[in-house]
Amino acid sequence: PRQPAKTLWYDRPRYVYLEFCVEDSRDVKVDFEEQRLVFSCKNADGVEFYNEINLYARINSKDSREKRSDRSITCFMRKWKEKVAWPRITKENIKPAWLSVDFDNWRDWEGDEEVERAMVEQYAEV
């Protein structure tokens, strides 16, 4: 049986970030499409996780990436229209139970572009 992974998200001027909270993930697959993201993996116990998100707005799928760590898989999706805030991650105005705003990383954008660029570069190095 598949189940959705607990997911946190936050918005930045150039990217939207998603974190799928799965420890010891394996067989990680992330498909970035222009208006959809499909995520799947298994954990150490063999539990299958699957999330499909119809995105609020278009992304540049070729400039979107994921980074796996021991505790989660972080995706950063390049917005098609930069500096346009996303009020939510989903196209539909409904919030699935497994999806939450990452308030630890949510903040006003002012002067945030340098911080964001540094974060993306840090991810890209791995």
Give pLDDT, residue 26.
Answer: 97
Give pLDDT, residue 1.
Answer: 75
Give pLDDT, residue 121.
Answer: 72
Give pLDDT, residue 101.
Answer: 95
Give pLDDT, residue 112.
Answer: 61
Please report the DSSP string for 21-38 in residue order: E-TT-EEEEEEE-SSEEE
Please report the DSSP string for the chain in residue order: -EEPPEEEEEE-SSEEEEEEE-TT-EEEEEEE-SSEEEEEEE-TT--EEEEEEEBSS-EEEEEEEEEE-SS-EEEEEEESSTT---S-SBSSS---TTEEE-TTT----TT-HHHHHHHHHHHHH-
Distance between CA atoms of 34 and 54, rounded to whole angstroms? 10
Classify domain 7-125 by CATH architecture: Sandwich (2.60)
Q: Kindly give the parts of the chain with pLDDT less than 70.
A: 110-116, 118-119, 122-126
Instruction: Give pLDDT tens digits for 50-69.
Output: 999 999 999 999 999 999 99
Task: Name the nearest CA neighbour of 116 among 12, 10, 8, 11.
Answer: 12
Give pLDDT, residue 38.
Answer: 98
